[in-house]
């Protein structure tokens, strides 16, 4: 029997020559088909993708065959030629390419020599294993790729190799951006598009318009379609959108997870971060707010892809547990260390997760995800912090489509634009981290509200570069690469600047953007930590008694010596220059000085613990100086201080600091 695409006469009349060739292939004319024996499975079909290889006798089907590729109109029908089908038989489509995209369909019509099955409107394009079911018995028909399109009759245009429709609710949507990562086009009044693509990237994606969503594969939004035909062959790739109201929405911003199956990281991730972020998501969903997530790169750690058998596919199993759509940014540690050159090393990310740069819209905000790592791997995983020319050209095309320059632009990329700031006469230093940072800044010229979200540093800092551009470098989900919370260590979760491990929460209403940093395991109002420096004396005897080396003072820095000057150190991790820090003692206001120092809690939580087992602390992991520190000098060692921190939105955070205040691993 032969599997065919059922078409009305008018459909066949409107097919062009190339489409007719496809139709001929589908009907079996001139096509060499793979033949499959009818098979028997003594267990019912459970929806997994196992092979059914035993001979079946109960179905009495013969000559089973199926085309390897079928182009179908949405909601169309399949006509299967052959005999032996019974009225209550079902046809099962088990996905080989999508999560939870399995269908069991009743036979719509059975006639002499053929049956007809109507595909549901929500049937997803992809590769399927097709079988016939009768009671507890299953007969495998074969594997096929079903391409479900909104309009199979879009005319070709010279030089255009990809075409399709962006639609919702049975109607095309005009003015939507579609791109192959190089060319950028918009849909016409019918929602159709054409792209002159060389198909270099192997996919085409839609910049999801505001107030729409796409289907998901687990937590991954399916805003892109993979290309399957040679560069010169025209392909139809559609994008079906679902209307929603996301003018008000929340984004969970997730920096540096570094999952690698080491340091108890999976357990820490699950019991700490996953529990916390899903509680945050549930809170916002409870009042009807749409919630999304956006990573900032280094979700994995390429060093351990092979060594620990933990790479991007294993990471996805964990991220699918986040109860929201998750958009991904590539980091340097998400590149393939078995390849050389920037193009080839991104290959595993493209095939496992999707495009390494793209854009989308949520409500009235335009989001752009960039790959700012030129991963070379010519010398032990070396890379450059830059946006390569081809991607920069794409970015300019994307931004050129936004005519309203008051549109908020949120750019996610892994490597920071500006390095960790020092204090220079009270002003932020603005040392550039990207080699072509000025190109990026120039591309954003004219937009009045631009926010850059970056990771990479495992620190937290904010830089207001100009009235229109602000960078937010976020602390890491993994904190210090999961070290401080691993078994036998400090029992806390802390980044190298003293910021608790956590993530950003961005609350958006129309064009109004607000943000705060959420520490894992704490309420959202936990925004600073105060140290009584009279109690902070870091001695080897107390914190690394087993250490036999001589470098203790190097790691303990100034805290190796006692400080009995009644000073208090305040770490305000999400501080920016629009925040204020006020301290009073007995009603008297104390002068507050911004300082550039290390966080003492991080020193004892990471470096001291490594030294205590006579290991050398990893240079990139040791405590780093930070400029979100503030110092005050009290009049008494036992007075109570009132600390008031006000953020840039007017939110106030307080601590009544009863002194002496104990210093230790689990201090708040």
The CATH number that applies at residue 64 is 2.60.40
pLDDT digits (tens, 9 = 90+) for 629-665: 999 999 999 999 999 999 999 999 999 999 999 999 9
CATH number, domain at 424? Answer: 3.60.21.10
CA distance 487 to 65: 56
- Determine the straight-line distance between the first and last CA of the chain, rounded to whole angstroms: 72
What pLDDT does 91 receive?
Answer: 93
- Return the SS3 of 567: strand
Least confident among 38-47, 89-98, 452-461: 38-47
Residues 484 and 500 in one domain: yes
Say if 156 falls within a structural domain: no
Domain of residue 227, residue span: 162-240
Quick one: pLDDT at residue 70? 86
- Write down which residue in 240, 263, 285 finishes a domain: 240
Other Cβ atoms closer than 10 A to 42: 9
Higher-pLDDT residue of 78, 29: 78
Question: What pLDDT does 21 receive?
Answer: 33
Lowest mean pLDDT among 46-50, 355-359, 616-620: 46-50
Are 440 and 456 part of one and the same domain?
yes
Given this model, what pLDDT does residue 165 score? Answer: 97
CA dist list (Å): 133 to 4, 53, 237, 631: 19, 15, 31, 74
Residue 17's pLDDT is 33
454 band by pLDDT with thresholds 50, 70 and 90: very high
Q: State pLDDT tens for residues 363-376.
A: 999 999 999 999 99
514 and 542 inside one domain: no
Within 10 angstroms of residue 211's Cβ, the number of other Cβ atoms is 16
User: Where does the pLDDT of residue 31 fall: very low under 50, low under 70, confident under 90, or very high at 90 and above?
Assistant: very low
| pLDDT for position 99 | 62
Per-residue pLDDT band for 39 (boundaries 50, 70, 90) equals: very low
The answer to whether residue 86 scores a pLDDT higher than 80 is: yes
Average model confidence (pLDDT) for the chain?
90
Select the more confidently predicted residue: 305 or 98.
Answer: 305
Whole-angstrom Cα distance, residue 473 to residue 263? Answer: 24
457 and 539 in a common domain = no
Euclidean distance between CA atoms 457 and 496, whole angstroms: 9
Specify whether the CB–CB gap between 628 and 575 falls below 8 A. yes
Binning pLDDT at 50, 70 and 90, where does residue 429 land? low
pLDDT tens digits, 286-297: 999 999 999 999
- The percent of residues above 70 in pLDDT, for the chain, comes to 90
**What pLDDT sits at residue 32?**
28
Do 536 and 466 fall within a single domain? Answer: no
Point out which residues pair with 641 in neighbouring strands. Answer: 585, 657
For residue 356, with 0-12 CB atoms within 10 Å meaning exposed, 13-18 middle and 19 or more buried, which class applies? buried
* End residue of a domain, out of 496, 519, 542: 519
131 plus 85 within the same structural domain: yes
**462: nearest Cα among 667, 508, 453, 436:** 453
Pairing of strands 593-597, 290-295: unpaired
Residue 263 included in any domain: yes
pLDDT at 12 over 60: no
The DSSP line for 439-505 is HHHHHTTT-S-EEEEE-SSSS-EEEE-SSSEEEEEPPPTTTTTT-TTSTTS-SS-B-TTSPBSEEEE
132: β partners: 91, 139
Q: Return the pLDDT at 428.
A: 56
Instruction: Kindly state the helix (H) or strand (E) to which residue 345 belongs, with its residue range.
Output: helix 342-345
* 96-110, 206-220, 378-392, 542-556: the lowest-pLDDT one: 96-110
- Same domain assignment for residues 355 and 452: yes
The pLDDT of residue 65: 75
Count of the separate structural domains present in the chain: 4
The mean-pLDDT minimum among 45-54, 88-97, 200-209, 355-364 falls in 45-54
Q: Are residues 209 and 266 in the same domain?
A: no
662 domain-assigned: no
Distance set, CA 325 to CA 220, 270, 352 (Å): 6, 18, 16
pLDDT category, 114, cuts 50, 70, 90?
Answer: confident
Question: pLDDT band at residue 58, thresholds of 50, 70 and 90?
Answer: low
Residues 324, 461 share a domain: yes
The pLDDT value recorded for residue 476 is 98
Angstrom distance (rounded) from CA 196 to CA 158: 9
Indicate whether 290 and 385 sit together in one domain.
Answer: yes
Name the token pair of 497. 């600047």
Q: Cβ of 618: how many Cβ atoms within 10 Å?
A: 13
- CA–CA dist 208, 205 (Å, integer): 9
- Residue 75, pLDDT score: 86
Of 133-147, 410-424, 511-525, 591-605, the one with minimum mean pLDDT is 133-147
Q: How confident is the model at residue 11 (pLDDT cuts 50, 70, 90)?
A: very low
Cβ atoms 416, 372 nearer than 8 A: no
Average pLDDT over residues 5-28: 35
Tell me if 668 is assigned to some domain.
Answer: no
Lowest mean pLDDT among 7-11, 217-221, 554-558, 616-620: 7-11
pLDDT per residue over 235-267, tens digit each? Answer: 999 999 999 999 999 999 999 999 999 999 999
What local confidence, expressed as pLDDT, does residue 33 receive? 29
Of all residues in the chain, the percent with pLDDT exceeding 90 is 79
| Separation of alpha carbons 532 and 643, rounded Å | 13
pLDDT of 493 over the 60 cut:
yes
> What is the pTM assigned to this prediction?
0.86
> Residue 665 falls within a domain, yes or no?
no
Is residue 157 one of the residues assigned to a domain? Answer: no
Same structural domain, 545 and 586: yes
Lowest mean pLDDT among 24-28, 159-163, 187-191: 24-28
pLDDT band at 271 (very low <50, low <70, confident <90, very high): very high
The C-alpha R_g of the chain, in whole angstroms, comes to 29
- Structural domain contains residue 588: yes
Looking at per-residue pLDDT, the higher value among 18 and 487 belongs to 487
| CATH number for 176 | 2.60.40.1120
Whether the predicted pLDDT of 268 surpasses 60:
yes
Residue 223 is classified by DSSP as -
pLDDT at 439 over 90: yes
**Per-residue tokens: 314:** 């294993």
pLDDT tier at 223 (50, 70, 90 boundaries)?
very high
Q: Average of pLDDT values for 563-578?
A: 97
Same domain, 215 and 332: no
The pairing of strands 239-240 and 162-168 is: parallel
Lowest mean pLDDT among 130-139, 325-334, 501-510: 130-139
Neighbour tally for 88: CB within 10 Å? 10
The last residue of one of the domains, among 500, 519, 538, is: 519
Residue 154 lies in a domain: no
Answer with the residue of higher pLDDT: 148 or 64.
148
Predicted pLDDT of residue 427? 53
């Amino acid at each position: 029997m032969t599997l065919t695409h059922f078409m009305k006469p008018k459909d066949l009349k409107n097919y062009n020559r190339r489409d007719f060739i496809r139709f001929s292939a589908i009907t079996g004319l001139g096509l060499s088909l793979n033949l499959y024996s009818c098979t028997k499975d003594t267990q019912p079909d459970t929806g997994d993708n196992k092979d059914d290889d035993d001979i079946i006798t109960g179905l009495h089907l013969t000559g089973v065959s199926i085309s390897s590729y079928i182009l179908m109109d949405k909601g169309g029908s399949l006509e299967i030629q052959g005999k032996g089908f019974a009225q209550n038989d079902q046809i099962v489509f088990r996905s080989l390419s999508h999560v939870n995209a399995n269908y069991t369909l009743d036979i719509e019509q059975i006639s002499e020599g053929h049956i007809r099955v109507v595909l549901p409107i929500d049937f997803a394009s992809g590769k399927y294993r097709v079988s016939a079911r009768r009671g507890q018995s299953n007969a495998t028909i074969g594997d096929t790729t079903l391409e479900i399109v909104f309009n199979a009759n879009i005319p070709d245009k010279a030089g255009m190799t990809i075409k399709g429709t962006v639609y919702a609710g049975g109607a095309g949507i005009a003015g939507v951006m579609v791109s192959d990562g190089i060319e950028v086009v918009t849909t016409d009044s019918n929602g159709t598009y054409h792209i002159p693509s060389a198909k270099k990237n192997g996919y085409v994606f839609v910049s999801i318009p505001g107030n729409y969503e796409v289907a998901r594969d687990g937590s991954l939004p399916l805003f892109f379609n993979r290309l399957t035909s040679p560069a010169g062959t025209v392909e139809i790739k559609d994008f079906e959108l679902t209307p929603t109201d996301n003018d008000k929405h929340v984004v969970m911003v997730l920096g540096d997870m570094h999952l690698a199956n080491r340091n108890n990281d999976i357990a820490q991730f699950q019991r700490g971060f996953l529990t916390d972020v899903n509680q945050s998501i549930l809170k916002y969903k409870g009042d009807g707010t749409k919630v999304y997530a956006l990573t900032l790169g280094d979700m994995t750690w390429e060093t351990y892809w092979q060594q620990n058998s933990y790479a991007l596919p294993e990471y996805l199993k964990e991220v699918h547990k986040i109860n929201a759509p998750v958009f991904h940014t590539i980091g340097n540690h998400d590149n393939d260390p078995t390849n050389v050159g920037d193009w080839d090393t991104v290959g595993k990310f493209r095939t496992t997760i999707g495009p390494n740069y793209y854009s989308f819209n949520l409500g009235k905000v335009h989001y752009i995800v960039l790959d700012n790592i030129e991963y070379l791997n010519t010398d032990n995983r070396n890379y450059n912090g830059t946006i390569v020319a081809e991607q920069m050209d794409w970015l300019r095309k994307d931004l050129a489509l936004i005519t309203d320059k008051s549109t908020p632009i949120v750019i996610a990329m892994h490597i920071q634009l500006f390095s960790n700031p020092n204090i220079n006469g009270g002003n932020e230093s603005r040392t550039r981290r990207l080699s072509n940072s000025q190109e990026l800044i120039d591309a954003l010229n004219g937009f009045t509200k631009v926010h850059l979200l970056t990771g990479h540093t495992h620190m937290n800092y904010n830089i207001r570069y100009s009235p229109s551009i602000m960078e937010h470098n976020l602390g890491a989900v993994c904190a210090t690469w999961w070290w401080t919370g691993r078994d036998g260590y400090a029992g806390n979760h802390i980044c190298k600047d003293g910021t608790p491990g956590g993530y950003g929460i961005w609350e958006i209403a129309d064009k109004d953007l607000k943000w705060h940093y959420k520490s894992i395991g704490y309420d959202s109002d936990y925004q600073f930590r105060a140290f009584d420096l009279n109690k902070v004396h870091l001695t080897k005897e107390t914190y690394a008694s087993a250490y036999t080396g001589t470098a203790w003072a190097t790691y303990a820095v100034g805290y190796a010596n006692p400080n009995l000057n009644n000073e208090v150190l305040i770490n305000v991790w999400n501080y920016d220059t629009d925040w204020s820090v006020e301290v009073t003692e007995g009603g008297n206001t104390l002068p507050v000085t911004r300082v550039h120092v290390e966080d003492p809690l991080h020193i004892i939580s990471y470096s001291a613990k490594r030294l205590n087992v006579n290991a050398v602390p990893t240079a990139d992991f040791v405590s780093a100086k930070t400029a979100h520190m503030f110092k005050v000098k009290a009049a008494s060692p036992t007075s109570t201080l009132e600390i008031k921190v006000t953020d840039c939105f007017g939110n106030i955070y307080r601590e009544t600091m009863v002194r002496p205040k104990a210093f230790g691993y689990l201090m708040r």
